[in-house]
Structure formats: C-alpha cells, structure tokens
Amino acid sequence: MRIGSRLVISFAVLLGLLFLVAVVSLSHFGKLTAVTQTIVDVQAQRVALAHTADKRALSAANCLLRLLQTSEREQRIPLYTAMDADISDLDAAIAEIGTLAENDLNMRSASENAQLDHLNELRSSYDDLFRITVETIELEGPARAHKHFVTKTQSALNALLKETSALSERQQRGMHAGLEQLRQAEAGARTLVILISLGALLVGSLLAWIIARSIVKPVREAVRVADTIAHGDLTQPIPAGHADEMGQLLQSLGVMRDSISSREEKILKLAYRDTLTDLPNRTLFLEEFSRLAADSTGAVLMLDINRFALINNALGYPVGDLILRVVGKRLNELSPSPRLIARLWGDKFAFLLADANKETARAFADAILATLQNPITLDNQRLDIGGNLGIALYPQDGEDPSTLLRRAEMAINFAKQHHVDFAYAADIGDEPVHEHLSLIGEMREALERNEFAIYYQPKFSFNTEKISGTEALLRWNHPTRGLVPPMRFIPFAEQTGFIREITPWLLEQVIAHAAEWRRQGWDIIPSVNLSTLDLIDPWLVEHISGLLQKHGLAAGQLCLEITESALMEDPEIALRHLNQMSALGLKLSIDDYGSGQASLAYLKKLPVNELKIDREFVTSVSELPKNAAIVRSTILLCHELGLSVVAEGAETAAELDWLQHNHCDVVQGYGIAKPMPLADFLPWVSAFEQRAGKL
C-alpha cells in the first residue's frame, strides 16, 4: 500500500474517533445543561417560594399577636392591613409552588402533592380560626380573643408554621439532591470522554507507529545516501526500496548522485582546466603553488606570444584559437617537463619549476623559445611566432604566486621594451611603492578640495622679444606631503584613467585665466598638455569648444600640446581629433619631439602649428655638435613645413644665444624663468619685458 493511502486511512480513523468524542461530549453536555436549567429555573424558584411562604406565615402570626395586645381600634387597622398582605403573599407562594409541581413532570410526585394538600388544609383551618379570633377582638375585646387564640387558633398557627418550615427544608433538600445528581452526571460524562479520548490516543499512537515504521527506515536510508552525497562520496550503493514514494525518492537520489557526479567532473574541468588548450588554468596554478613546502625554492616563468593581437585582427579569432592550441600542445611536450604548465589568460602561459635556480630557469626559457621558433602552418599558410619571457625566482622575488606572476609580467614588459627574449624580475627594480599607491587614492579627494594648483612657465619669442606664451603645469599642494611634483602623480593618474577628470578641470582653469589676460590687454597664449587618454576621448573637442564659448576666448588663443607617444597609441583616432581641433582654430603643438617614435612621413600629415624640441637635445646644444646638428636640422625642417619651433629646457645664456642665432622661434626653460604661481606670473611678465632687449 502506498504511503498516501496509509496516511488517508489513519487520518480517517482518527477523525472518526474524534467525531465520536465530540458526539458523546455534546450529548452529555446537553443533558447536563437541561438538569442545570431545571435546577435554576424550578428547584431554586421553589426553594425561594417555600422560604417566602414560611416567612410570610411567621410575619402574619406576629401581626396576630400584636393585635391581641392592642386595645385601640385605630392602632389595629394598620396591623390588619399588614396581616392581610402577609397572608396574601403566603397564599400566592403556596399556589406558585403547586403550579411548578404540576408543570414539572420530572419533579412531580404523590408525596409532593399530598404535602401541598396538607399545607392547604392547614392554611384553610388556620384561616377559619384566624377570622374567628379577629371577630372576637372586634366584638368582645382582645382579652376574650386571646383566650380563643390560646385554646384554638394558636395550635392551628403552630401547625401551619411547622408545615411551611418543613416545606422550605424539603425544597432545599430537593435542590441539593439535584445538584448532587448534576455532579454525578458531570463526573460520568467526564469519565466517558476521557476513556474515549484515551482510546483515540492509543489507536492514533498505534497507527502512527505502524506508519512511522514503514517510513522511517526508508527515510533513514535516504538520509544516509544524502549525507554521503553531501560529503562528496558518490560511490556508496543506494537501496532499491519499495514500490512507494520512498522507493521513488531513493531512485531519484540515485539519479541525482549520477548527475552530480557528471556535473562535478565538468565543473572541476572548467574550474581547473583551460577549455581551449586543455592545460591547467590560473586557479590550478595558484593551488599547486600553495602545496609547495614552505622552504622550497624554484622559479615561475611567464610567456607572452608576440604579435598575437595582430594575428587575431588580421586572420580572425578562430585562427588565434588554433594557434593557442598548437602552442599549448608544444609546451606540454617540453622536456624536461616542468612541475606545471598553465594558460593564465589570452596569450599568456605560466610555468612552475620546482628546485630551479637562475641557470635552470634560463635553460628552460631557451627550450621554450626554441619550440616557438618552428613556424605554424594553418590552411597552407605559414605563421612565424615568437615570445617574450619573464622569470621570477622564489623566494627571492616573492613568496606567494600572485606576487611572482606580477613580477614575471613586469619582467616581460621590460624584455619587450629592451627588445630581448627574456628578463629576470630581479633586473627590473622594485614595484611601485606604497606612497605612490596611496597618492592614487588621494587624487580624487584632492580635486574635490581644490588642492591642485597651476604653475605657468613663460615662453619667450625671439622674433617679438616678448613673452608670447606660457605652459600650464599642474602642481599638487598636498596637506601633509607639501608640494608634490607632477612626475610623482601624473603618470599614475594616466595609468588609472583619473587624468580624464583632471584635464577638464585644468582646461577650464587655463581658459578662464587666458580670457582674463586678454581682457587686461596681454597677448599671451597658454599651452595645455593632453595625455593619451585625453586625445582619444570622443567628447574632447566638444568639451573644449564649450569652455571657449563659456569664457569668451577665441580658439586661436589656446594651444594644446600632444606628445609623440600619445599620437602613436591610436593614430587613426588621434589624427581625427587633431583635424577637428585644427578646424576649430586651436593651435596644436607636438611636445618632446625626438624622444618618441613619430616618423617624418607621419609628421607631415599632422595639422599642427608648432613643434617642441625635447630638452635632451637642447641641453648643451652650444657645446655638443651632434645635439647642434639635430636641433639645427629640426628647425630647418619645421620652417620648410611651415611650423614654428619651441626649444624647451634652455638654461644657460650660451644655449639661448645659439638658439637665437640658429633662428629658433620660441624658447622655454630655466634660462628664461622657472614655473611660477598664477599670482606671480603677470607681474613677472611685466618686469621681464622691460629688460627683454638685453637677451
């Protein structure tokens, strides 16, 4: 029988017993209610009436005695009235008791009727003698009436009083008997209900035990199976069970266990294996490193495949995925095999070498580079690939895998910059200090608290012998560190992207200052440096145009300086934005020319107005022939291209004389002035132009 059917039958039996308890209880409680109502409505009323009759009879006797003692008629009249009222109430009470006895068939009996008849006879006899006594009082006087009362009336009165008192006692005894009967009936009903309830409890317990016995054992088996599954043991056998719900549950647990086992295998593979190359992933690499002994030594190598992004862009991602599979297979076949090879992400692979030193790690790096030298042929197309490696030794370069991987990646970047195949983490110096990291977190608060300040470094024009422009340089007035130079925080602002919040603030301040200078009659064009992130910002031109309109400054009164590295980061977007800014009328300048990678062919395409020669070539230009040749040829080239030339970093009088003699247009450097706060700038310009002719 199924569990549901068993439960239905059991609950039906229990409900039947409970219904029986309810019916019996209601039946007996109905009877008790009827008896109680009888006692309240009849017995109690008869007791009260009997008591009233006894009381009124006694009161009438008292009135009669007082009549016998009263000689004046006027004084007897109130006593007659009171005595009549008592006798009337006595008669009414006796009549009411008789009526209740006639109506109540349960309490009516022959003895009760005989007693009431005897009481009425005594009342009638006493009434006759009482009237004679009263008449005697009125006709013959109280003395004669008293004699009649003593000889005849008093015996009848005593008999009546005795009977009314007996009536009251009988009615009270009858009520007490009814209450005792009620208590016995209540006790019997309680006993019966208790017995039936105990029977229902016993039957229910028996049914519960029977059902529980048929359910608990399979449930216990199911719980055991579930516990083994919860603890990861997916090998324990599962009982077949019976053909009921518990049997189906055990079967479902078996299906669930098999499904979990299958999913666990897939999840473990996804969690610890790279789906593309089937190599271990970063998670497994970190866990494997954590299993190393605390005093172990070794090396962590990281490989970055060269030109992988170009291959993806040119041939598509499917080809890139095929290359990664081939590379992963080759790396997995390296001999001697490392402790672990993992694909971290993208085109980066990591290797864990246990008990390896610097020489062992280098030999393994050579083996990796050698296996990558063999071209990869895909669809009859030969692809030459290579890579750069970073090597971090533990515990020298770090004791945890995250630090070692980070140091190895920094070594890869160092190798790429210096065009070597691999580099050691120990050769690239320390990581960014905590001070730099804390400055990154404080820059946003500094901008909100107006801690940034603008310093201006003048530009002197040899042609006009005046200050024709100035470069806006950002400084940070830190509340505890003092004046922080730009090289301490600008590079980190560019790395974190916060420069995109600093540049809009700087542009608005400089444009507002330039507009005020124009209103005061000064023809000075300020220059603002744009970073790589600024130059590729799609809203840059629109933002600058809005600031110019807001402050009423002509576009030609602002110069924007762009470094060669910023131009080369994304040439297409950079050139488009430069064309838009040139069309707007802004002056454009290439900063630090000569220190980057811009070619002359690319230079002729740029819509720029001036070129700034890097201080590396201006320094000692009057003494070093090679510097002089580079600067001189650059000046001639720029003039042929229609560009003005600014030499930055000029510090000595000899350098200034050489630049002026070789037709440099503008000079900037300590030889003219150091950067100064806004409040000092215009007063300095005014004083300088008074002695400008001496240069």
**Level-2 CATH architecture, domain 3-206:** Up-down Bundle (1.20)
Gap between the terminal Cα atoms of the chain:
115
Q: Percent of the chain having pLDDT more than 90?
A: 26
- Quickly list DSSP for 449-493: TT-EEEEEEEEEETTTTEEEEEEEEEEEEETTTEEE-GGGTHHHH
| CATH code 1.20.120.1730 region(s) in the chain | 3-206
Mean pLDDT of 156-182: 73
Which tens digit of pLDDT belongs to each residue from 305-324? 987 877 777 778 888 888 89
Which tens digit of pLDDT belongs to each residue from 261-288? 667 666 766 678 888 888 998 888 988 8
**Level-2 CATH architecture, domain 282-427:** 2-Layer Sandwich (3.30)
Q: Is the dihedral of CA 644, 647, 653, 657 positive or negative?
A: negative
State which amino acid sits at residue 230. Answer: A
DSSP 150: I
Mean pLDDT of 605-616: 88
Of 616, 628, 548, 633, nearest in space to 585 by CA: 548
CA angle 358, 363, 364 (to 5 degrees): 100
Of 302, 299, 301, 303, nearest in space to 394 by CA: 299
Is residue 665 within 8 Å of 646, Cβ to Cβ? yes
Q: Which residue has the higher pLDDT, 85 or 45?
A: 85
Q: If you search the block for the tokens 């309240």, which residue do you land on?
A: 40
Measured CA to CA, the distance from residue 504 to residue 546 in angstroms comes to 11
Please report which confidence band the pLDDT of residue 452 belongs to, taking 50, 70 and 90 as the band edges.
Answer: very high
Is residue 192 within 8 Å of 24, Cβ to Cβ? yes
Is residue 648 within 8 Å of 669, Cβ to Cβ? yes
Both tokens of 152, joined, read 């005849």
Determine which of 21-30, 319-328, 381-390, 531-540 has the lowest per-residue pLDDT on average.
Answer: 21-30
Measured CA to CA, the distance from residue 145 to residue 538 in angstroms comes to 140
Pairing of strands 422-424, 387-394: parallel
- Residue 691, pLDDT score: 75
- Residue 648, pLDDT score: 93
| CATH code 3.20.20.450 region(s) in the chain | 457-474+499-690
Q: How many CB atoms lie within 10 A of CB 263?
A: 10
Per-residue pLDDT at 55 exceeds 80: no
**Level-2 CATH architecture, domain 457-474+499-690:** Alpha-Beta Barrel (3.20)
When mean pLDDT is compared over 32-46, 54-68, 443-457, the highest value belongs to 443-457
Is residue 504 within 8 Å of 543, Cβ to Cβ? yes
Which tens digit of pLDDT belongs to each residue from 116-136? 777 777 767 777 777 787 778
Find all residues with CB under 8 Å of 413, minimum gap 6, and list them: 390
| CATH code 3.30.70.270 region(s) in the chain | 282-427
Per-residue pLDDT at 674 exceeds 70: yes
Both tokens of 636, joined, read 């001639």
